[in-house]
Amino acid sequence: MRKLNQVNAILTSKKSEVEKQVTEVYKLIQKEVLFQGRERTYRPVDEEKGQRMPPESQKVQQRANDLIVKVASLWNTVWGLTLTQDTGNQSAKADIVVDGKTLLANVPVTTLLYFDKQLNDLETFISKLPVPDPAEEWSTDPNTNLLKGRLTESMRTSKEPTVIVKYEATKEHPAQTEIFTKDIPVGTWSQIQYSGAIQNSRKEELLTKIRKLQEAVKVAREQANLLEVEKQSAKALLDYVFGDVVKE
């Protein structure tokens, strides 16, 4: 008997190998000339004076029945392994345990494989969630359930023109002046920032839990795949179609 993980490894490579070989045979059966042969001899009407011609022959290069036996044997191997794998998958189960606590018991190995892929997606989702500006101090606002920043104030100013006299007027020259703008305080802005993002500490907490769960699922998968499985055969299906052409 083999362990289920061994069957999984063998089947993966065997499927590719069988598909390649069956494809090659499929290409052969479309070349009718390979299945044709002939022998031709010539006899002149005048046995004594007539021209003699050498015999001609063409050998049959492929036999349909031989190819049937070949592909049936290939399919028998991969069909049997697939049946063995699927039969094993029906029995292979394990518990998902995190920090000594069983979260789910007797989870089928196919479901564990599904959880493994889903947890990868969940990790990607959480890792992309936005976090608020770390330079700000945030607290949770009970009224809005949003993150709330500190109250800040900033001055609002208005630019007003101001005239300065550079030189006073004299009898000979007018006064020299210059106009410039001056920022004059006119009010105060009070601001509180809100954020619908997730606190970075919460994000890291979630990612830590997800990664623990990912590890637990992988351990459970390995444990489930250690199940010893009996070899199964799908030979009866091929025998029904072709007769007893396949040898185990």
Do 48 and 149 fall into the same domain? no
Give me the pLDDT at residue 247, please: 77
- Same domain membership, residue 238 and residue 219: no
147 with 85, same domain: the answer is no
The pLDDT of residue 186 is 86
Q: Tell me what pLDDT residue 221 has.
A: 95
Buried residues in 64-81 as b, exposed as e (16+ CB within 10 A): eeebbebbbbbbbbbbbb
Check whether residue 85 and residue 103 sit in a common domain.
no
Model pLDDT, residue 90: 93
Are 85 and 116 contained in the same domain?
Answer: no
Q: Same domain for 80 and 113? A: no
Residue 169 and residue 73 share a domain: no
Domain boundary among 151, 174, 195: 195
* pLDDT value at residue 159: 87
> Which ranges of the chain have pLDDT less than 50?
none
* pTM metric for this prediction: 0.72
Determine the pLDDT at residue 181.
Answer: 83
Structure tokens at 248: 């185990």
3-class DSSP assignment, residue 192: strand
Same domain, 82 and 115: no
Q: What is the pLDDT of residue 191?
A: 93
Determine the pLDDT at residue 223.
Answer: 95
User: What is the Cα–Cα distance from 26 to 62, expressed in whole angstroms?
Assistant: 12
Q: Which residue is associated with the tokens 């920090």?
A: 99
pLDDT given at position 38: 93
Domain that holds residue 73: 1-92+229-248
What pLDDT was estimated at residue 182?
A: 85
The total number of structural domains in the chain stands at 3
pLDDT for the residue 246: 79
CA distance 110 to 105: 14
Pull the structure tokens for residue 103: 């979260």
Q: Are residues 112 and 166 in the same domain?
A: no
pLDDT of residue 211: 97
Q: Are residues 233 and 215 part of one domain?
A: no
Do both 214 and 154 map to the same domain?
Answer: no
Q: What pLDDT sits at residue 180?
A: 80
For position 80, what pLDDT does the model report? Answer: 95
One domain, residues 50 and 104: no
- Torsion over CA: 5, 9, 10, 12 (sign): positive
